[in-house]
Amino acid sequence: MRIVRDFEEAKALLRRSPFEAGELPIEMKQKIRDVFGKELTPEEAVRRIIADVRNKGDTALFDYTERIDGVALDSLEVSREEIEEAYGKVDSELISALNTAAQQVRSFHQLQMRHGVKEFTEGGLGQIVRPLERVGIYVPGGTACYPSTVLMTAIPARVAGVNEIILATPPKGDGEVPAPTLVAADIAKVDGLFKVGGAQAIAALAFGTQSIPKVDKVCGPGGLFVILAKRMVFGTVDIDGLAGPTETVILADESATPILCAADLLAQAEHDVLSSAILITTSSEVAEETSREVERQLSELERAQIARQSLDDTGRIILVTDIDQAIELVNLYAPEHLSLMVHNASSYIEKIRHAGGIFIGESTPETLGDYVAGPSHVMPTGGTARFRSPLGVADFLKLTTVVSFSGEELEKLGPAAATIARAEGLTAHARAVEMRLRKGRGEQ
């Protein structure tokens, strides 16, 4: 891995740029031409898909699933029989692990409910908390399988009290959803599961079709076309954010173990060629040893080619003079995941202003957060940890403010309201208050 020793160069490398679609791979450009019969930008393609799904409903979903995924479906919805059969296709050890993870996720989000947003009434003012009625969960799929994402999105919604959870995920080439995904959906108590992926799935959840009900919010990660679709339907529905490629920063001092630093960097890099795995360290020895360990461990990985490209393109080892410099870089980058592999790691938490999740010490690898720790692994990426939070129960709750004033309080505040209303030229607003004031005073 490349080692960066200049602090100013490191800051320049870690500054974020706004999300852009960027240059598409040749294969993706060809796919767009095959599907639409002409060259389109990703934005144009997604806009066309959304319009077709909005206007044609299920017909467009069947059509795009065949044209994009190469799967001709008889039905969009996964049946109860398919879910029950999935249990027979999944190893009992995995089912046990999914149940363990589900319990951890459920327990953490139950804690959030107890300590999070509260109802109150005080002095005529208050707020009530209500769950969303129906949410849509998107889980990437196709050639891959992500049962963990099902648990990490659906369970927080269920704990928050959402009445109906609809899940969409692309089918495999045989038209089926991977069995582990179906088992996870059953464990998470998903209400409806549909074999639809990509931008067309987001459009279906946002606008509704003959088979798929319209939801109030769409959550979950996805690729470029899913991100663009979520951005385009925002306003029609709420979204949880625009989760891009995953990223990890490891902050290490001389106490860190290079073999573990390398293992964690590679665990991140194997996700995707666009993933980012960065080590920031105060130790030249840790930097050099970790770089060598990465090369040694790469040869042992099944996804070595993906991991190597990720590390070559976006992976860095940054050498700094002290922990303060390291923390400055962390806060500049605002990573999705931050691992603190330093002496007295907990003592630095107060200085971390921007990070999706903080993992303390060598006994807490970020991999635990991906699967079984409890907090959702749907976290802010691309620097959005500066203003967004990990997915949690608050994403599935909404607040309604309540105002209840007595005549005495109206007398106290009403004149100010009327004055401001008249200053804004809204005479009817002012009169609505002034009439009540006169009535309270017994005036005509």
> What's residue 142's pLDDT?
65
pLDDT above 60: residue 21: no
Full domain range(s) for residue 190: 80-239
* Three-state secondary structure call for residue 156: helix
Q: Is residue 337 annotated as part of the catalytic site, yes or no?
A: yes
Of 109, 271, 337, 377, which residue is the catalytic one? Answer: 337
Closest CA to 48 of 27, 70, 67, 20: 67
Q: Which of 210, 239, 268 is the last residue of a domain?
A: 239
> Tens digit of pLDDT for each residue in 65-86?
999 999 999 999 999 999 999 9
Question: What's the rounded Cα separation, in Å, for the pair 341 and 282?
Answer: 11
What pLDDT does 143 receive?
64
Residues 229 and 307 in one domain: no
Q: What is the CATH number of the domain that holds 424?
A: 1.20.5.1300
Are 279 and 178 members of one domain? no
Same domain? 232 vs 84: yes
Local confidence band at 294 (pLDDT 50, 70, 90 cut-offs): very high
Q: What pLDDT band is residue 203 in, cutting at 50, 70 and 90?
A: very high
User: Domain holding 309: CATH number?
Assistant: 3.40.50.1980
Claim to verify: residue 225 and residue 297 sit in the same structural domain = no
pLDDT tens digit string along 373-393? 999 999 999 999 999 999 999
Residue in 270, 293, 328, 336 annotated catalytic: 336
Q: Does residue 39 fall inside a structural domain?
A: no
Give the residue with greater pLDDT, 25 vs 212.
212
pLDDT band at 414 (very low <50, low <70, confident <90, very high): very high
Comparing CA positions, the residue from 23, 21, 3 lying closest to residue 13 is 3
Do 335 and 375 fall within a single domain? yes
Q: Taking residues 417-426, what's their average pLDDT?
A: 97
Nearest to 312 by CA among 344, 269, 254, 352: 269
Same domain, 193 and 309: no
294 and 256 belong to one structural domain? yes
Residue-level pLDDT at 243: 81
- In whole angstroms, give the CA distance from residue 444 to residue 435: 9
pLDDT tier at 19, thresholds 50, 70, 90: low
Which of 185, 204, 239 is at the close of a domain?
239
With left for phi above 0 and alpha for psi between -120 and 50, is residue 65 left, alpha or beta?
Answer: alpha
Answer whether residue 32 is part of any domain. no
Whether the pLDDT of residue 62 is over 60: the answer is yes
**In-domain check, residue 344:** yes
- Name the 3-class secondary structure at 85: helix
Judgement on whether residues 417 and 435 belong to the same structural domain of the protein: yes
181, 261: one domain: no
Identify the band that residue 18 occupies on the pLDDT scale cut at 50, 70 and 90. low
Q: With CA atoms as reference, report the closest residue to 202 among 137, 154, 153.
A: 137
Q: What is the pLDDT of residues 90-136, one digit of tens each?
A: 999 999 999 999 999 999 999 999 998 889 999 889 999 999 999 99
- pTM for this prediction: 0.92
Domain-embedded: residue 29: no
135 three-class SS = strand
Count of domains for the chain: 3
Res 181: pLDDT: 97
How far apart (Å, rounded) are the C-alpha atoms in residues 435 and 441?
10
Q: Residue 338 and residue 353: Cα distance in Å, rounded?
A: 11
- 179 in the same domain as 132: yes
pLDDT at 396: 97
**Which DSSP string corresponds to 396-421?**
GEEEEEEE---HHHHHHHHHHHHHHH
For residue 351, report the phi and psi dihedrals to the nearest 5 degrees. Answer: -85, -15
pLDDT of 278 reads 97
The packing angle between helices 92-115 and 179-187, to 10°, is 40
Residues 228 and 300 in one domain: no
Helix axes of 42-56 and 224-233: crossing angle, nearest 10 degrees: 60
> Is 289 within the bounds of a domain?
yes
Task: Give a yes or no: residue 399 inside a domain.
Answer: no
3-state secondary structure of 15: coil
Q: In terms of DSSP bridges, do strands 316-319 and 397-403 run parallel, antiparallel, or are they unpaired?
A: unpaired
Return the residue matching tokens 């299920």.
58
Contact 370, 144 (CB under 8 A): no
Q: How far is CA 424 from CA 61, 135, 411, 428, in A?
A: 49, 39, 21, 11
With 90 as the cut, is the pLDDT of residue 440 above it? no
| pLDDT tens digits for range 262-283 | 999 999 999 988 899 999 999 9
Q: Tell me: do 161 and 208 sit in the same domain.
A: yes
Final residue belonging to a domain, choices 187, 204, 239: 239
CA angle, 167 then 169 then 174, to 5°: 135
The answer as to whether 95 is a domain residue is: yes
Domain assignment of residue 20, yes or no = no
